[in-house]
Amino acid sequence: MKYFFKVLFWTIWLTLCLILNGVLFSSFDDKEMVEVCLVFLVVWWVITLIIALVKWKKYRKENPALTKEQKNNIKQANKEIKYRNSVEYKQKYLSEVEIENSYFGKGILLKNSENPENIYYTDIKSGFDKMFTLFGNKNDTPYDLYEFLIKADNINYVLDSLEKIYKDSKNIMEKCYVEIYNKIVEFFENPFENTSTLKKDFCLEYLKENWYVHGIQIYDDVVNFNIGIDAATNHEDDSCYEIIVSVGYNTQEAEVTFNASW
């Protein structure tokens, strides 16, 4: 609604400018009318410039200009990214390693040896297909790997821990349903710019039957599952929040994180 009024205001405001200009040119021989139009146009431009100045100050307050140090840091970061994507870097530090696991099968992992004291696996190049389908047995379509960062000497511990988590995924999710449901309901009860609502049939049982995993993040001590659910009447509004179920390897207990992103 707020966006609608902004569009309405600027539509009327710009239309007013066009009308004043039109009257000015059509009444060029009428000196008095020309003077009146010029006065209104000057007032229009003054108000417009004041609005622009206020908006600019607000923007600069929220997005301050970069300092010289920040510009240099960005320049260095871009240089580093460019180097890490170079053929030279990949040939020097990256290699593919085949890992076999009794539960997940075979997988080709990308190993980064840039720091000899901290060698990491940073990606799953292929294989380990079960890792992208078995959590909760809910997915017809494999979910995506959002991040994978495991110390090389920790890979067996991580895979063993993940096996336990996957095998107990139904019980893990059972403990999360009520919290996820309450967070979603609370989100849609609070007003925000669009007017989307929950589906009429959205309930706890609906959540249990229709949730899915769309992404996974795997680290040395925890795995995060990004949970999706078609809860809103307007499907696009389900992208205005994210649900993450995190399971620690030590405790095998889940923690729910709900973040609004609108």
Same domain, 119 and 186: yes
Domain-embedded: residue 197: yes
Residue 238: what pLDDT? 81
Same domain, 55 and 152: no
Number of domains observed in the structure of the chain: 2
User: Which of 168, 141, 153, 164 has its CA nearest to residue 99?
Assistant: 153
Residue 171: what pLDDT? 93
Same domain, 207 and 124: yes
User: Which of 16, 34, 17 has its CA nearest to residue 25?
Assistant: 34
Domain-embedded: residue 76: no
Q: Exposed (0-12), middle (13-18) or buried (19+): which is 240, by Cβ within 10 Å?
A: middle
Phi, psi of 246 (to 5 degrees): -105, 135
Q: What does pTM read for this prediction?
A: 0.70
Domain-embedded: residue 96: yes
* Two structure tokens written together for 18: 């066009």
Domain-embedded: residue 246: yes
Residue 89: what pLDDT? 85
Domain-embedded: residue 217: yes
Residue 221: what pLDDT? 95
Same domain, 29 and 157: no
Residue type, 162: L
Domain-embedded: residue 101: yes
| C-alpha to C-alpha distance for 241 and 183, rounded to whole angstroms | 10
Cβ–Cβ < 8 Å for 136, 123? no
Same domain, 36 and 166: no
Chosen domain end from 19, 47, 62: 62
Beta strands in 128-211 (DSSP E): 144-148, 150-151
Residue 187: what pLDDT? 87
Residue type, 56: W
Residue 32: what pLDDT? 78
| Structural domain containing residue 43 | 2-62
Residue 195: what pLDDT? 54
How many Cα neighbours within 13 Å face the side chain of 143?
A: 24
Phi, psi of 147 (to 5 degrees): -160, 145
| C-alpha to C-alpha distance for 37 and 26, rounded to whole angstroms | 11
User: Which of 121, 145, 149 has its CA nearest to residue 135?
Assistant: 145
- Give the CA distances from residue 160 to residues 100, 103, 104, 110, in Å, rounded to whole numbers and listed in that order: 12, 9, 10, 19
Domain-embedded: residue 80: no
Same domain, 110 and 162: yes
Residue 124: what pLDDT? 94
Same domain, 42 and 169: no
Cβ–Cβ < 8 Å for 75, 92? no
Same domain, 54 and 100: no
Same domain, 115 and 156: yes
Same domain, 178 and 234: yes
Same domain, 57 and 94: no
Domain-embedded: residue 17: yes
Residue 192: what pLDDT? 59
Cβ–Cβ < 8 Å for 248, 218? no
**Segments of the chain scoring below 50 in pLDDT:** none
